[in-house]
Amino acid sequence: MQGGKMRVAVLNSDRCHPKKCSQECIRYCPRVRSGDETIVMDEKTGKPVISEELCVGCGICVHKCPFNAIHIENLADELEKDMVHRFGENAFRLFRLPVPKKGKVVGILGQNGIGKTTAINILSGQLKPNLGRWDSPPEDVAEYWKGTEMYDYISELFAGNIKVAFKSQYVDKLATVDRTVSDFVDNEAIKKFEMEDIADRKLGEVSGGDLQKVAIVAAMAKDADIYFFDEPSSYLDINYRIKMAKEIRSLAEEDKMVMVIEHDLAVLDFLADSIHLIYGKKGVYGIVTQPKSVRHGINLYLSGYLKEENVRFGEEIKFEVHPPRE
């Protein structure tokens, strides 16, 4: 950490091929050339390890790597205390978490690859956060949130006292299950969601939209305290998007906690009570904002600028009221 900045060095291991290059990252690093071990080869993996403490952030390794496998970012050092999870030494890290609310639908909005699914994997108990200590994870992670509104939720979650229902974004995996639609969806739901024509068909024989319906209905049918829906509107036509959004909202009206990752802004506007934006760099880091009102959050996302944090995270998205002029 230097000059008020936290260095983030990430190596994309899938892209890194040391046997096919001249190890330019090491050869051209000015700190290595001056005698420091800023970048060394890991004997086990055969791939470089970058010391974030020694790195000066010059970016030479980034530009010299023939495989575009290295990313160096400088983040505000105050973010370090907000690190929730880190996947390894030179790996993706997530800062902060969205906050579940009883009787509310909380939306999560952001581009792919910056931690949305990681966040809900943590909040659903599928992934235990290591608070950045990837090499020596803490036993009692709830202590980190003591004194915040997240403390009770995290404490109860990892004590096994919160019942979770989870709808994954990867609904295509259902197609590999050798069962019929009616094995997952009861008769009442089959009628409600107009699925009579596919009720007796194998999951591998139905469309992506029908698999999405099955996954959503199956998650909603569970008796849970909190429901997670990862991209529920994908594969669905507009009528079913609205229908499913109404049904998901009904869970919150039963005083349940609901969290939804959604890219369809119209559906998110209809569905959510508040939203968290997640911004960052794909495969490198993700930062969760404080909760925003839905309209304000969507407008911030479209503007690509967070005024409160003074962060530009993307290009402004504009909608033309007429066909674009040539």
pLDDT in tens, 97-110: 999 999 999 999 99
Alpha carbon separation from 63 to 5, 28, 39, 60 (Å, rounded): 21, 10, 15, 5
Instruction: Give me the percent of the chain exceeding a pLDDT of 70.
Output: 97
Q: Considering the domain 92-163+223-312 in this protein, what is its CATH number?
A: 3.40.50.300
CATH class of the domain at 5-79: alpha beta
DSSP assigned state of 21 = S
| Greatest Cα pair distance in the chain | 72
- Helix (H) / strand (E) containing 45: none
The percentage of residues in the chain with a pLDDT greater than 90, rounded to a whole number, is 73
Q: Residue 52, SS3?
A: coil
Distances (CA, A) of 256 to 60, 119, 161, 251, 311: 50, 19, 15, 6, 33
Q: In the predicted model, is pLDDT for residue 264 greater than 70?
A: yes
Average pLDDT over residues 48-66: 96
Measuring CA to CA, which residue among 231, 245, 237 is closest to residue 209? 237
Q: Around Cβ 34, how many Cβ atoms within 10 Å?
A: 8
Average pLDDT, rounded, for the chain: 92
Look-up of token digits 């934006």: 277
Query: Cβ–Cβ contacts within 10 Å for residue 320, how many?
Result: 7
Domain extents in the chain:
5-79, 92-163+223-312
pTM: 0.91
User: Looking at residue 2, what DSSP letter applies?
Assistant: B
Q: Is the dihedral of CA 298, 303, 307, 311 positive or negative?
A: positive
- Quote the pLDDT of residue 114: 96
Instruction: State yes or no: pLDDT of 325 exceeds 70.
Output: no
Given a contact cutoff of 8 angstroms between Cβ atoms, the answer to whether 118 and 128 are in contact is no
Q: What pLDDT does residue 1 have?
A: 44
Mean pLDDT of the region 23-27: 97
Per-residue pLDDT for 89 more than 80?
A: yes
- Per-residue model confidence as pLDDT tens digits over 230-244: 999 998 988 889 999
User: CB–CB of 49/323 below 8 Å?
Assistant: no
Tell me which DSSP letter residue 219 carries: H
Q: How far is CA 21 from CA 9, 25, 49, 167, 205, in A?
A: 20, 10, 16, 42, 46
* 191 vs 211: CA distance, rounded Å: 16
Looking at residue 124, its pLDDT comes to 97
Higher pLDDT, 194 or 153: 153
> What integer pLDDT is reported at residue 195 of this predicted model?
87
User: Which pair of structure tokens corresponds to residue 255?
Assistant: 């005083």
